[in-house]
Structure 1
Amino acid sequence: MNRLCMLAVTTALALLPQMATAAEKTLTVGVSDALSGGGAVYGEPQRRAINLAIEQINAGGGVHVGEDTYKLKTIEYDDKADPTEATNVARKLIDRDGVKFLMGYCCSASTGAVASIIGREDVIMLVGTAGARAITAAGNDNVFRTRPPGDYSGAAAGRFIASKGVKRLGVLATRDVALFTQYRDALIEAFEAEGGEVVALETFGGQDRDMSAQLTKLRGLEPDGYFISGYVEQVAFAYRQAYELGITAPRYGFSGGSAEQFLSVASSEALEGVWDLIAIEFNADALGDTAKAYAKAYEERWDAYPTPNSAFAYDQVYVLRDALEAAGTVELDDVKKALRNLAVPEETVLEYLPVDGKMFDPKGQAYISNGAFQFHNDKWDFVTKLPSDSAAYSAYFQTITK
């Protein structure tokens, strides 16, 4: 081989690593969630689920965007479920870290604060568990949410409680979280429309752990059923205290949360027979093989069983992957358009109900089935699906802004 040929071969070989590096890029995703404090029971599982999905996608070859392949990585911050802190985290991710895709967001108050400003920013925000209606009702074209609003499930729950023969309902609910108040109001309206009577509405604050006084007042009114809603720890305390007060009437709730989270506060005896009426979050028995594979992978990776809300965040990552690949670019306008027209990704764990064949409706809102779960023998058993009309709710949703 002459010197000219040898030089050409050597030059080509030297360029190969550089060409490979140029073709494989990194796309950074910002994760903002409650990783400490009371909201961490939702935020930390979401963070873990996001990282699991990213590890799976990267191991499978990454995200193929046009002629480029991207490996995903995260920058993660604790927003403490605090509105001010969440807004500061968003500013840090956007202004300092230069992130274009934000995800996580487990709690309504903190997420709502970010959503109120994000429409002015050149980013895409993917929201998980936070269920306050205004987050997507505002109609920002860069906000997409996998969890349906609270009132979407609340009305179905009210009809279900009435169908169980409850005529007089005592309500105990958190008073300062939009997700829960919207769900509660929709539940009461639907329950009363079925001929039921709410004997009293008692409330508690975000830091309260002793609801004995409110439960005692409700018990004196002799309801034949109770409805209790709020964050998982508070609801678990209320169930424990109801049991200690000798309350035996059926108890229905809305909180989400794993059996392990409830059992860390209340005994199995106190929890036996209580209901959780929620959009069908992660539950392997209700959702089938894909969910079982997710549970196995999550448990192997994190040495813990996935909480019900964790799948909202896991699905976010596959939503982003499919939108990027459909867009063929990382340009935000093209990715937003792809999200608007996205079919439900094959790998998603939850059972989404498309609107006009698309995962997200015109306001960037996705919908899943509603379900009734009952606590029995130290675990949540899936009992039945509740009526879930995503198209009808979406049509109503387009008419409101908050």
Structure 2
Amino acid sequence: MAPVFAKVMGGTITLGAAISLTGKYRTNGTHTLNGYDLAVKAINVAGGVRVGGKTYRLAINHHDDKSTIALSIYLVERMIERDGIKFMLGPYGSGLTKAVATVTEKYKIPMVEAEGPSRAIFSQGYKYLFAVLSNSGQHLASSIALALEIAKKNGKSASDVTVAVVFENDPFSLDARAGVIEEAKNHGVKIVIDDKLPRDPSDMSATLTKVRAVKPDLLVVSAQSKGVVTVAKLLKDLKIDLPMIAMTHCEVARLIAKFGKASNGFLCPTQWAETLTYKDTLFGTAAEYSALFKKTYEGYKTVPYQAAQASAAVMVWKDALERANAFDIEKIRQALADTNMKTFYGDIKFSPAGNNIAKPMVLRQIQNGEFNAVAPSKWASHSVEWPRKVPGG
């Protein structure tokens, strides 16, 4: 089969994106677009993208998918067929990303996505999809690694570590649970409780009473914000004192505001934090990226991780295009598959399934009312407080 080349008009390489600027995903969609735009500006200021001995500027052709799957599919297909776009950036969210991926695979158009973490996306056998973020199965897996690190420092082995897992029955929570179970089995860690939380929050006390009796080294809570609040309340009311507790959605659930000192010590996963020591030659450190983002876009007190990973996706495109050194689509696809780079967002290397296997989830611990990055310890800004200090305990 003859090579397929992208049409690059003039001196500009155009990346396509259907992104949610209205509808239910509009807030995070806007964060994502800002991240894309900031990286494009930074790359162009730094000299652009060099391919085949010529320097090109980057640009983005984006359209509002209004947070709907059908429109997102239509827009991506139109950009490919009508506009001749051969390089795609992902939409916001797992549902839209999974839907759009069927289109990019059909047309054999590479897509670098930053906002679709669902494990299901990476089980479809896609060859043209590459994701910079950690998938949903990795969200709490870092807590196992941290527990093992602490155990080793205390002269214990993996088989000495006990873990209790409690989870809700939604797709995200089940993905996060699966990642924890897989990580525990890989290291020989004992799962002593593996309980599905009941739909009625008032019935969760039975599971938490069991946790109090078993006293695991680590409690992992995989739930949506309402479930997380209920578990946090029960931990406080039942005076459950455990050395490590990790749970999803700490910020959305507003645990610090609702529970004050009782939330101290909770470990909370995030894709990225501006206090990490990651760095690259384009943006510098995570903190320098954060400062530039806040200077460029008004109204941000902190930089959303959605924006950071969106910028990283654009950086991957620059890196792959320069290594391919041609506009042959298959050469570019292979260059993407061979990606192995360090960025302010973290390391990026893709598995055959397209997910990033080089960047673990970050764990932040609530310490005196602040979220501080404590893992991976190599990149952390603070040391983990272990065992967890319970007020009045």
TM-score > 0.5, shorter chain as reference: yes
Kindly state the Cα deviation for residue 144 of structure 1 after the two structures are TM-superposed.
1.2
**Cα distance, 1:172 vs structure 2:** 3.1
Pairing 1:157–2:143 present: yes
Q: What is the alpha-carbon distance in structure 1 between the residues aligned to residue 79 and residue 333 of structure 2? A: 19
Looking at structure 2, the residues matched to 310 and 33 of structure 1 have their Cα atoms a distance apart, in angstroms, of 13
In the comparison of the two structures, how many residue pairs are matched? 343
Given candidates 196, 201, 207, the residue that maps to 1:212 is 201
Q: What is the RMSD of the two structures over their aligned residues, measured on CA atoms?
A: 3.6
Q: Is the 8 A contact 1:33 1:106 kept in 2?
A: yes
Q: Which amino acid aligns with 1:194?
A: V
Distance 1:271 1:40 in 2: 30
1:49 to 35, 60, 65: 35
Scaled by the length of structure 2, the TM-score of the pair is 0.73
- SS where residue 372 of structure 1 aligns? strand
1:325 maps onto 2:322 in alignment: yes
Letter in 2 for 1:125: M
**What's the secondary structure of 1:157's corresponding residue?**
helix
Q: Which amino acid aligns with 2:375?
A: T
Q: What SS does structure 1 have at the residue aligned with 2:372?
A: strand
Q: For 1:47-86, list aligned pairs within 5 A.
A: 47-79=33-65, 82-86=68-72
Q: Determine the structure 2 residue equivalent to 1:287.
A: 278
Q: Gaps spanning 5+ residues in structure 1: where? A: 1-21, 205-210, 354-358, 388-402
User: Superposed, which structure 2 residues align to 1:1-400 within 5 Å?
Assistant: 25-36=11-22, 39-40=25-26, 42-79=28-65, 82-152=68-138, 154-158=140-144, 160=146, 169=164, 171-173=166-168, 175-177=170-172, 180-188=173-181, 190-191=183-184, 194-198=189-193, 200-202=195-197, 212-213=201-202, 215-223=204-212, 224=215, 226-229=219-222, 234-235=224-225, 237-244=226-233, 246-247=236-237, 248-249=239-240, 251-255=245-249, 263=254, 266-267=257-258, 269=260, 271-277=263-269, 281-287=272-278, 290-303=285-298, 304=300, 305-344=302-341, 348-352=343-347, 359-366=349-356, 367-385=358-376
CA separation of 1:160 and 1:318: change in aligned 2, threshold 3 A: closer
1:108 deviates by 1.8
Do the aligned partners of residues 215 and 300 (structure 1) sit closer, same or farther apart at CA in structure 2, a change above 3 Å counting?
farther
Distance 2:73 2:366 in 1: 37
Q: Tell me the secondary structure at the aligned position of residue 30 of structure 1.
A: strand
Aligned residues: percent identity? 21
Q: Which residue of 2 aligns with 1:15?
A: none
Instruction: Give TM-score, length-normalised by structure 1.
Output: 0.71
What whole-Å deviation, never above 9, does each CA across 1:106-161 have from its counterpart, x for those lacking one? 42222122223432214211111322234234343321111233334554434656
Structure 2: tracts of 5 or more residues without a match:
1-7, 152-159, 379-393
Q: Which amino acid aligns with 1:373?
A: R
CA offsets 1:187-206 (integer angstroms, 9 cap, x no match) = 145558523322621266xx
Greater displacement, 309-318 / 368-377: 368-377
CA drift of 1:263 comes to: 4.3
The answer to whether the 8 Å contact 2:118/2:135 transfers is: yes
Distance 1:56 1:374, change over 3 A: same
Q: Match of 1:308, as an amino acid?
A: Y
Q: Secondary structure at 2:287's aligned position in 1?
A: helix
